[in-house]
Amino acid sequence: MVRMGQNVRIAVVQAAPVLFDKESALERIADYASQAQSQDARLLVFPEVFVAGYPRGLSFGARVGSRTMEGRKDFARYWESAVDIPGKDTLRLGEIARETGLYLVIGVVERDGEFSGATLYNTILYIGPDGEVLGKHRKLMPTGAERLLWGQGDGSTLTVIDTPFGRIGGLICWENYMPLARTAMYAKGIDILVTPTADARDTWQATLRHIACEGRCYVISSNQYATKSTYPEDLYGYDNIAGDPEVLCRGGSAVVGPLGEYVAQPLYDEEGLIMAELDMALVTQSRFDFDAVGHYSRPDVFQLTVNESKQSIVRFKG
């Protein structure tokens, strides 16, 4: 529970790196962290799979019943740009957090480090101002064609982290349309819900405001501003976007307060860094008349069981 009267200044990135270029993404993170530090932020949030990019419009040569070798090569390039948690990239991100004193919340493509090393996950990575990895969340349900790229997370990474200014948790993009996933996060006592996304539609804004009202929490949404210029022209699948407009994702990053009002209005059609001041006392105040998992719940009628066990296909004994 946060203390009454505590405020926190936060920053939200709306940008995209060069697709499949991890170095580009890491350099941009360092640059934005420096900007956020200079404006006295304590928390910095990046979009969905910022490292190393959301491959909007690419097919990876996949059709029902067939795949192409060219598409496999693009996937291998995506795999090469992924992040091991922990690994040398998280050490580098930890250095950025430590140098700037920021809590970093970053969308990354995570490479499985436990079994084959081949499966990728859409992951939120949490790093503390001391440079330590505080936790991660793997997207439970990739949407549509995303299922060709990313595996499914499990309940073991429904992560919430404690900070001096409140509890932070996150759900990625359309996970936020899963009522039971939201309920699980509310029950973990979140004060700030981060919602890294690739959805630039107007309907996404309605979602953010609804969730803020429902969870009586701050909702921070970070989206990309992505253009065709961020796509390497030597991708095998570059022709997939040849006929698309120059702007592939217009953004819409925003911050909403626990009564559903914008703290920072949506940013569209440009890259940018959104700054916002969060009055954390408002979280408690807003729950006076509605608390979805407290006095407004009906456990005699509705109950939710959440399986937080890590799921494994192989178990080695002795």
Q: Which residues are catalytic?
A: 48, 139, 173
Estimate to the nearest angstrom the gap between the alpha carbon of 92 and the chain centroid.
Answer: 19
Give the chain's length: 318
10 Å Cβ neighbour count for 315?
5
Beta bridge partners of 103: 43
Specify the pairing of strand 218-221 against strand 192-194: parallel
Helix (H) or strand (E) run with residue 29 in it:
helix 22-38
Query: Could you tell me whether strands 103-111 and 43-45 are parallel, antiparallel, or unpaired per DSSP bridges?
Result: parallel
Distance between the two ends of the chain, CA-based, in angstroms? 43
Cβ neighbours, 10 Å, residue 146: 17
**Cα within 13 Å of Cα(298), Cβ side:** 2
